[in-house]
């Protein structure tokens, strides 16, 4: 069977994985932001997307590079 190009975008992070991911700092849920095809800042250039901590107090951003979320607190990166 010939390989067809799928129009629908593959999810950046597997839904099941996203469900278990949490902010390592405050343990809150994280929100996925898909940056593919979007305008990015120079900091986000290498990223496919980012995970943003849902806690208002925390709000740490975790980059996703090559589809792999980097769940490290900023001071350990």
Q: Print the binding letters for residues 13-52 with Zn ion: x by CB under 5 A, - otherwise.
A: ----------x-xx-x------------------------
**Burial classification of residue 23, based on how many CB atoms lie within 10 Å of its CB (0-12 exposed, 13-18 middle, 19 or more buried):** buried
Q: Which tokens in the block code for residue 50?
A: 């980012």
**Nearest CB to Zn ion, comparing residues 36 and 70:** 70
Q: Is 55 in the site for Zn ion (CB under 5 A)?
A: yes
Find, among 31, 23, 27, the residue nearest to 74 by Cα: 23
Q: Which of 13, 51, 53, 64 binds Zn ion (CB under 5 A)?
A: 53
Q: How many residues make up the chain in this entry?
A: 77
Interface with Zn ion by CB under 5 A: which residues?
A: 23, 25-26, 28, 53, 55, 58
């Amino acid at each position: 069977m010939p390989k067809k190009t799928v129009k629908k975008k593959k999810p950046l992070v597997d839904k099941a994985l996203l469900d278990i991911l949490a902010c390592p700092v405050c343990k809150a849920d994280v929100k996925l932001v898909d940056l593919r095809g979007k305008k990015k800042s120079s900091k986000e250039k290498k990223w496919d997307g980012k995970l943003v901590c849902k806690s208002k107090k925390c709000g740490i951003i975790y980059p996703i590079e090559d589809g792999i979320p980097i769940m490290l607190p900023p001071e350990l990166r």
